[in-house]
Amino acid sequence: KRKLQLSPEQCSNFYAEQFGKVFFPNLTAYMSSGPIVAMVLARNCAVSYWKELLGPSNSLRARITHPHSLRALYGTDELRNGLHGSLSISSAEKEIRFLFPEAILEPVPTGQRARDYLNLYVKPTLLAGLTALCKEKPADPM
């Protein structure tokens, strides 16, 4: 999570795929008009899950078709929809690198690579921690 304010030039770079569209100048002006909160969300199928929570990009339409979505609740119109969501995993990686240049992104393992990672790194650490917790038997483990 990071709070920052983007310059109009940074917004133009961030939304470069939208360049040439009629709303582009208003988008970059709006996005650079004040601070934003950028977050990296991590979970299985994060991009599609976040899209589902966001609802349609036009918050006026979202109020009709997805009234409980985040954009329906917090957006004000078709441009000022309150929240951004990456369109794909590759765009999410690009946007994370843009907004968090100090972050180290590694490919998310899947399938056998994910199982190997869990067996090699997560399970031993978890087992050691839980074993230590059982030996201590603290009155309040939290």
Name residue 13's amino acid.
N
**CATH superfamily, region 2-106:** Nucleoside diphosphate kinase-like domain (3.30.70.141)
CA distance linking residue 65 with residue 104, whole number of Å:
38
Res 141: pLDDT:
67
**Which residues have a catalytic role annotated?**
84
| Six-digit token string for 24 | 């582009």
pLDDT along the chain (142 residues), means of 10: 96 94 94 95 90 96 97 94 93 94 80 88 92 82 68
Res 136: pLDDT:
83
pTM over 0.85? The answer is no
Domain ranges of the chain: 2-106, 107-141
Residues in contact with 76: Cβ distance below 8 Å, sequence separation at least 6, in sequence order = 59, 82
| Six-digit token string for 81 | 């929809």
